[in-house]
Amino acid sequence: MEKDVLMLEKKILDALKTVYDPEIPVNIYDLGLIYEVDVDDYDNVDITMTLTAPNCPMADGILKDVRDRVSEIQETKRVNVNLTFEPPWDKSKMSEQAKLELGFL
């Protein structure tokens, strides 16, 4: 059972890495916008995430992409995306690869 959960979590992370903010050429996972992914015993998924700015004009599209991409995974049941701005996003949350791609290293 634990192996199945780990496999599903990996599929979810892989799906999240296909979602991009159209204004930034790095996926939202490597940008550090995903704060938590929780899969319950029934394969329902709760994702807590943020955006680079509270007034992001692409917010609705990004949230829809996250929900749609994770929902495409056959094993998932319900997908809920929670948007938060606590703690606020900053560049320190980015992966080393993202910092390198964006010229912060």
Separation CA 101–CA 105 (nearest Å): 8
Separation CA 73–CA 88 (nearest Å): 29
Separation CA 59–CA 24 (nearest Å): 13
- Residue ranges and CATH numbers for the domains of the chain are 2-92 (3.30.300.130)
Separation CA 39–CA 54 (nearest Å): 26
What tens-digit pLDDT sequence spans the chain (105 residues)? 566 878 999 999 999 999 998 889 999 999 999 999 999 989 999 999 999 999 988 999 999 999 999 999 999 999 999 999 999 999 999 999 999 999 987
Distances (CA, A) of 34 to 2, 13, 16, 49: 22, 9, 8, 4
